[in-house]
Chains A and B, each alone.
Chain A
Amino acid sequence: GESVGLHLPTLSVQEGDNSIINCAYSNSASDYFIWYKQESGKGPQFIIDIRSNMDKRQGQRVTVLLNKTVKHLSLQIAATQPGDSAVYFCAETSRQGGKLIFGQGTELSVKP
């Protein structure tokens, strides 16, 4: 069935380095993608989104890249900080579906 998945379940980086979290999706009808950050004991928190008519979008210290040819999404975090430690989920939806479908998640651990 349709699903969203992540390549790496865990990622450990040094403080100050850049982080890249990857995600693969299989629903070619998806036209809207969101990255969420979830800290322990809390609900997912919106980071950045991108629509299928774009291939790159930048926010504060974060960049999302979308490659529709290979159905791949990535989240880049610049100058990773200890406060970035969390589980990161990609999620996808389409105008027809409405509901968000989440991937499994990647745990990002930042070493001081």
Chain B
Amino acid sequence: GAGVSQSPRYKVAKRGQDVALRCDPISGHVSLFWYQQALGQGPEFLTYFQNEAQLDKSGLPSDRFFAERPEGSVSTLKIQRTQQEDSAVYLCASSPRTASNTGELFFGEGSRLTVL
């Protein structure tokens, strides 16, 4: 499809397990963002890539969270040793612009992570 694609849509993990969430941005989009959305809350910024460079990771809540975009297209958000507080929807968004003029972000439908 032409939109941002995320997988898996739903993931249930036992506490302590590692998870990997994938984002396929819109082809050619330079900027890619990850957000975390807790139930009933607005999305919270996690990290930002411009092409393959991770320019801002100030929102990552701990060193258990790691994101990469090695070839400047697909991105993976990895969470190690998951905790219950990691349960949330993880949203990926892309933009054809760079961060200095962000403009509209195109969001995927998110990956809902539930940690038991």
Quick check: is B88 within 8 A (CB to CB) of the other chain?
Answer: no
Tell whether, in the assembled complex, residue A43 and residue B110 are in contact, meaning their CB atoms are under 8 Å apart.
Answer: yes
Interface size on A, residues (CB 8 A): 23
Which residues of A70-100 are within 8 A (CB) of B? Answer: 89, 91, 93, 95, 97-100
Q: How distant is B43 from chain A, measured CB to nearest CB, in Å?
A: 5
Assuming the A-B contacts A93-B102, A100-B102, are A41 and B109 also in contact, with contact meaning beta carbons closer than 8 angstroms in the complex?
yes
Tell whether, in the assembled complex, residue B4 and residue A43 are in contact, meaning their CB atoms are under 8 Å apart.
Answer: yes
Quick check: is A63 within 8 A (CB to CB) of the other chain?
Answer: no
Determine the chain A residues whose CB is within 8 A of the CB of B101 once the complex forms: 95
Q: Which residue of A lies closest to B108 (CB)?
A: A43
Q: How distant is B39 from chain A, measured CB to nearest CB, in Å?
A: 11
Tell whether, in the assembled complex, residue A44 and residue B43 are in contact, meaning their CB atoms are under 8 Å apart.
Answer: yes
From A32, A42, A98, A102, name the one whose CB has the most chain B CB atoms within 10 angstroms: A98
Tell whether, in the assembled complex, residue B102 and residue A98 are in contact, meaning their CB atoms are under 8 Å apart.
Answer: yes
Tell whether, in the assembled complex, residue A102 and residue B100 are in contact, meaning their CB atoms are under 8 Å apart.
Answer: no
Cβ 8 A contact of A43, one of B56, B59, B98, B109: B109
Residue positions of B touching A, CB distance < 8 A: 4, 33, 35, 40-45, 48, 55-56, 59, 91, 93, 98-110
Residue positions of A touching B, CB distance < 8 A: 4, 32, 34, 41-46, 49, 89, 91, 93, 95, 97-105
A–B pairs, 25, beta carbons within 8 Å: A32-B102, A41-B109, A42-B110, A43-B4, A43-B93, A43-B108, A43-B109, A44-B43, A44-B107, A49-B103, A89-B42, A89-B43, A91-B42, A97-B99, A98-B55, A98-B56, A98-B99, A98-B102, A99-B45, A100-B45, A100-B102, A100-B105, A102-B35, A102-B43, A104-B42
